Amino acid sequence: MAKNPNYDKWVEMATKQSKGKSPDSLNWQSPEGITIKPLYTSGDLDGLSFLDSLPGMSPYTRGPMATMYAGRPWTIRQYAGFSTAKASNEFYRKNLAAGQKGLSVAFSLSTHRGYDSDNPRVAGDIGKAGVAIDSIEDMKILFNGIPLDQMSVSMTMNGAVIPILAMWIATAEEQGVKQEQLNGTIQNDILKEYLTRNTYIYPPEPSMRIVSDIMAYCSKHMPKYNTISISGYHIMEAGADSVLQCAFTLADGIEYVRTALKAGMDVDTFAPRLSFFFGVGMNFFMEIAMLRAARTLWYELMQQFHPKNEKSATLRTHVQTSGWSLTEQDPYNNIIRTTIEAMSAVLGGTQSLHTNSFDEAVCLPTDFSARIARNTQIIIQEESHVCNVADPLGGSYYIERLTSEIIEGARKIINEIEELGGMAKAIASGMPKMRIEEAAARRQARIDQGQDVIVGVNKYRLKDEKLDFEILEVPDSVRLEQIERINETKKNRDNARCKAALEAITKAAEGNGNLLECAIEAAKARATVGEISDAMEKVFGRYTATTQCVSGAYSSEYSEASSDSAKVIEALRKRTNDFAEKNGRRPRILVTKMGQDGHDRGIKVVASSYADLGFDVDISPMFQTPEEAAKMAIENDVHVVGASSLAAGHKTLVPELIQELKKQGAGEILVVAGGVIPPSDYDFLYKAGCKGIFGPGTPITESAAKVLDLIEAQAK
């Protein structure tokens, strides 16, 4: 396509307006490595193969449905669950009455990891970040009064996917609902757990066996049910940019397709029921382009399997706005952030959407904040008129070029993964995880320097800010209620029937029986989540990941920055060097996550950044108990333990850690905490013996300086 005849004139005008600087000086390099220009023209459309596509037609760049929202708006599907099944049920019913169209269930971290609520390893986790489910009795309460033959239900579950799906199916049957009537989605995306969220139970190979068993069972008995939701959301939340999220998510999807084919399934039997789950952040146009690029690439990638049904190559997706972009500081700004992110999801063509509540950087959402989050979608649907046109940004010079750039970047990464032998082998090599962690560290460095602006955090910060909204706190009594129900269930069940059902699961795990089919019978027999998980663990074992972190990513952003920023790094390095010279060793910190929360972005960024600043850094394995963390701190002879908390377990776990250090004769080891900790809890932690607290938005350099202050004071 010929250059716009007025382009040279525009360059002249732009140069004059910029006081002699070329318009190229306004170019911006995105985290994805894409050069963003100040102006796009028809010339940027040259060579783009998907330009003439239409909504509902391959390669589906413009959307999977012909009329898109003009025909039917996206589904408002809010992700929620906390405390007890009863409390969550009340919350769901209230939201459904207020306009929500589908359910998306958040489970307790203990449930994700296949532990019953009476297991001592999960004492600080029960009901804190999702609803605790121990048996079918809990599941029946969770869906009481919610007709499962009419309601689409999405369940975010991967580790304990077999017992949870089995209990949901059994609950439906006890409601009088046949399996073939069930509609919804089970996430069942175990590969991303090894990449980011870490709520796995078993090693990768048997976990992939579980995925294929679910796909096989549901394709036969539950034709309306989506057997897997391939998740990029957690990849984004762990630090991936849009190109990485797109590439790794689609590569995961291809691995699942191959797994199903290997198990003898026909591609057109299961592929039309595959769904995806992406996250969107604050780079508005980039996120729109990513969703369009993902659909285009998925169609291209699926052609290698020769599907006869067009739906087998059609990417359908749920989207969630970013949790990581939410800030503790000036939290009402989060309402605006979520609105912007929701608009990018809608203009990108999502099929369903969850909007985060503004208070989630501090605590679980309240009824008040959840209503605002839900109404954000309703207002966009009902008042903005964006639903009137399918793919309203189609033809935008910028959007189409950006879509092409993401396709090209993601395709290169996918080809690299294929050369490694596919996503499972790539994960085993550590490549995807290291790329994500490097991106996260670089992002943190840019924020700490103010290069990436976060309003209310590193720019336009309020003085003497106080939180003025309700903090939802889940009491420890929830655990006692769950234990009581477990005991009651075990007391009233037919133990012989239950034992036989559990033995059948173990036998199926040893052979080739379908694990979901066996687990449904166990659920009906009132076996618990922990018992069903243990029946498979006898054969599969429990997986423990190796912990490592990137080096140099954080500091490299400073070396490329202004001299003032570089001076901050050098000053901290001088302090750690001086400490080493004076004390014969470097300041040493153990960074740990206790409890069952697997989100490790925070500890990985802290660990790699502190190492760049001259600390000796140890990272504990995931899912430690306070006793285990204390033992490791002593064995490694650290000066301080940094405990990361994201899932509201800090009031239980941090004091227990401090007591364990004293109990094991190492009370001199300092404890600091960071993460999602409401300011209202600070006094409690300080009184318990915590020496420093670093909430969301704390610059790494600031926290490192304060930790050094504490260590130096202790060393005198």
List the catalytic residue out of 593, 604, 650, 651. Answer: 593
- In 190-314 the beta strands, taken as DSSP E runs, fall at 225-226, 228-231, 274-280
Residues with Cβ within 8 Å of 37's Cβ and at least 6 positions away in sequence, in order, are: 23, 26, 27
List the catalytic residue out of 241, 359, 597, 618. Answer: 597
Short-list 516, 597, 541, 542, CA closest to 163: 516
d(CA 433, CA 279): 17
Residues with Cβ within 8 Å of 161's Cβ and at least 6 positions away in sequence, in order, are: 186, 187, 188, 190, 210, 214
Strand partners, 36: 28
d(CA 626, CA 200): 21
Interstrand relation of 616-619 and 153-155 (parallel, antiparallel or unpaired): unpaired
CB of 529 closer than 8 Å to CB of 163: yes
Residue 638 vs residues 619, 661, 689, 711: alpha-carbon distances, Å: 11, 12, 17, 10
Using alpha carbons only, give the angle 238, 290, 107 rounded to the nearest 5 degrees: 40
List the catalytic residue out of 599, 650, 651, 691. Answer: 599
List the catalytic residue out of 69, 79, 92, 610. Answer: 79
SS3 675: strand
Count of alpha carbons within 13 Å of 172, Cβ hemisphere only? 21
Show the DSSP H helices in 150-237 as ranges: 161-174, 191-192, 204-221, 233-237
Helix H or strand E segment including 673: strand 670-675
Based on the residue annotation, tell me whether 597 is a catalytic residue of this protein: yes
SS3 229: strand
d(CA 292, CA 297): 9
List the catalytic residue out of 69, 92, 233, 558. Answer: 233
Based on the residue annotation, tell me whether 354 is a catalytic residue of this protein: no
Residue 3: both structure tokens together: 């250059």
Based on the residue annotation, tell me whether 599 is a catalytic residue of this protein: yes
Using alpha carbons only, give the angle 238, 560, 462 rounded to the nearest 5 degrees: 60
Residues with Cβ within 8 Å of 101's Cβ and at least 6 positions away in sequence, in order, are: 75, 76, 77, 152
Look at the block and give the residue holding tokens 């309703």: 378
Residue 52 vs residues 48, 73, 317, 400: alpha-carbon distances, Å: 9, 24, 22, 11
Based on the residue annotation, tell me whether 234 is a catalytic residue of this protein: yes
d(CA 441, CA 613): 13
List the catalytic residue out of 234, 354, 433, 691. Answer: 234
Mark residue 421 as left, alpha or beta (left: phi above 0; alpha: psi -120 to 50; beta: remaining): left
SS3 371: helix
* Residues with active-site annotation: 79, 233-234, 593, 597, 599
